Amino acid sequence: MAVTIQPLLQKCTTLSHYKQLQSHLITTGLFHLTRSKFIEHCATSQATGTLTYAAHIFQTLTFPATNDWNAIIRGLAQSVQPARAIAFYCKSLSVLPCKPDALTCSFTLKACSRALAVNEAVQIHSQVVRFGFIADILLQTTLLDVYAKSGYLDYAYKVFDEMPERDVTCWNAMIAGLAQGDRPDEALQLFKTMKDVGFKPNEITVLGALSACAQLGMVQEGKNVYSYAKNEKLDMNEHVCNAVIDMFGKCGHVAEAYRVFNDMRCVKTVVTFNTMIMVLGVNSEGTEALKVFDQMSKEGFRPDNVSYLSALCACNHSGMVDEGVRLFETMSKDVSVVPNIKHYGTMVDLLGRSGRLNEAYDIINSIPIKPDVVLWQTLLGACKTYGNVEMGEKASRKLVEMGSHSDGEFVLLSNIYAAHRRWKDVGEVRNAMKNKQVKKVPGFSYIDVNGVIHKFINGDKSHSNMQEIYKKLEEIMCRIMEHGYVPETDYVLHDIGAEEKENALSYHSEKLAVSFGLLKTSDDSIIRVNKNLRICGDCHQVMKLVSMAYEREIIVRDRTRFHRFKNGLCSCKDFW
């Protein structure tokens, strides 16, 4: 009967259709033979009200069979409330004579994956072993996916290593999990291993590998992945092309990103345009970004929220204040787009960076939605840049009222006080940090040299080449002083002597990474550094002078943007 009912189920597109079919099956005496298939189809349907109705039918069953449980759990696992599927699974364990099978566990683990319910997944893992289902490849892959998506990468690796056989699905889950879990170097290595052992990466695998390359700034590896994608015709997939554009952009290769954008063999989408606009924006190509934004409409695409946000960010990174204001006014008149908190935040940042603090403050107080902590943090950052103590204190008070305890807020306020030599206030801020147990996020930078990632933290002395690095750094400082370098000690918060302040600045992680780059790379190559925090003003000045003194191009990707240093100038035009 399962074969004959399937065509009828396929024709059901509304709740009314399901009710009519159920009446027919009950009338003909066939419902008890087909109910599991009926419940499953009804529960997984996209029609309004069908999942609730399937649950209602299930609850009327006196002795639901394992197939009935599987049907409703599967439907709930795919719903907007996947946690309900886990609750049904737990209930099934207490109902006799029902016994969960491998499918029951698999559907429930998928619910755990969607709900990021890793503790429940661990318990189900132990039950899978106890029930004797651990050899099931589908179950193992689903379990791996739960751990990987939840960030429990060591657990995921253990499952992966113990799998007797692997399909492409499990490789993809592991690579994606590593790429998204701050372990991109391992994701890239696993991608290479996958090919070495004879598995053929697909679109999903390539997306994970490209994401890893983008995070690491490893453009050559990214080119290798892209070359593979082209050879396998995976570049016919728009998602792959978008990821390639994003990868080149995050590695600072704007021309390459533009080339991929213009030469795409697949159809462009709004996401494609948004990606290109953002790439241009973070690389300080604001004028070009707005050209692509205009190109969208000419090619028949309607800008969405992300389009406007990307264009506003481009204006922000390029210091195009008037253009950004005009664009924001245009968006406000577009009935299809409603400005959200990120749009307002970008405008606050744009106005704040240009010194228009009162306008930025007015925007925060006038928006129709409740301002979040990011808006006040952004204003606080602008107050630090322009040394506005009064408004900085206002922003700080608002953040305290909102219960925010970010280390960045305390550091910014300390910076404002330190710049005005208000050491007592600096001390009070530091005491507040201690009382609230707020710890400053340590700065670190990394650089790729010949395919090997080298990581540095502030004041690092753990690197095997550290003696050479520090000696080179001394040489750098002496050399750039001949070009007019004066340490910007305002960026050091401590009330200490000038010499100690200069030493504190000298050993910032990006300076150590550049020193290593000068030691270990050829004179005609670009030095590329990634930093987890915003580059400080002193390091920014040093990079400009190093690019001139050593005639080397340096690209620093910090938390928010790219800085391309060449011939003593930065692509951000000192607007960051």
Burial per residue of 58-97, b for 16 or more beta-carbon CB atoms within 10 angstroms, e otherwise: beeeeebebebbbbbbbbbbbbeebbbbbebbeebeeeee
End-to-end CA distance of the chain: 68
CA dist 550 and 546 (Å) reads: 6
Tokens 């401590």 correspond to what residue?
494
DSSP-H helix ranges across 420-567? 423-435, 466-481, 498-506, 509-520, 537-549
Residue pair 225/202 in contact by the 8 Å Cβ criterion = no
Task: Enter the pTM of the model.
Answer: 0.75
Q: Give domain limits for the chain.
A: 166-267, 340-440, 444-570
pLDDT, tens digit only, all 576 positions of the chain: 444 788 888 889 899 998 999 999 899 888 888 888 899 888 888 888 888 998 899 888 888 889 889 989 998 888 888 899 999 999 888 876 778 899 999 999 999 988 888 899 999 999 888 888 888 888 888 888 888 888 888 888 888 888 878 878 889 989 988 888 878 889 999 999 999 888 899 999 999 999 999 988 888 999 999 999 999 999 999 999 999 999 999 888 999 999 999 999 899 999 999 999 999 998 889 999 999 999 999 999 999 999 999 999 999 999 899 999 999 999 988 888 999 999 999 999 999 989 999 999 999 998 888 888 889 888 988 888 888 888 988 888 888 777 777 766 777 777 778 777 788 878 877 777 777 776 777 889 989 888 888 999 888 788 889 999 999 999 999 999 998 888 766 545 444 344 444 455 668 899 999 999 999 999 989 999 999 888 888 899 999 999 999 999 999 988 878 899 999 999 888 877
Q: In 10 A of CB 421, how many CB atoms?
A: 11
| Residue (of 532, 494, 496) closest to 513 by Cα position | 532
- What's the gap between Cα 551 and its chain centre? 34
* CA distance readout (Å), 6 to 51, 57, 99: 18, 19, 26
Q: What is the DSSP letter of 234?
A: G
Cβ contact 533:558 at 8 Å? yes
Cβ neighbours of residue 509 closer than 8 Å, sequence gap 6 or more: 443, 444, 445, 456, 457, 458, 460, 531
457: phi then psi, degrees, rounded to nearest 5: -110, 165
Q: Is the dihedral of CA 377, 382, 383, 387 positive or negative?
A: positive
Site of tokens 């253009």? 323
Residues with Cβ < 8 Å from 381, sequence gap 6 or more?
Answer: 349, 352, 412
Q: Is 77 helix (H, G, I), strand (E, B) or coil?
A: helix
Give the tokens for residue 281: 């924006």
The three-state DSSP-derived secondary structure of 266-293 is: CCCCHHHHHHHHHHHHHCCCHHHHHHHH
What count of other Cβ atoms lies within 10 Å of the Cβ of residue 108? Answer: 33
Residues belonging to the chain? 576
CATH classification of 166-267, choosing from 1.10.1740.10, 3.90.1300.10, 1.25.40.10, 3.30.470.20? 1.25.40.10
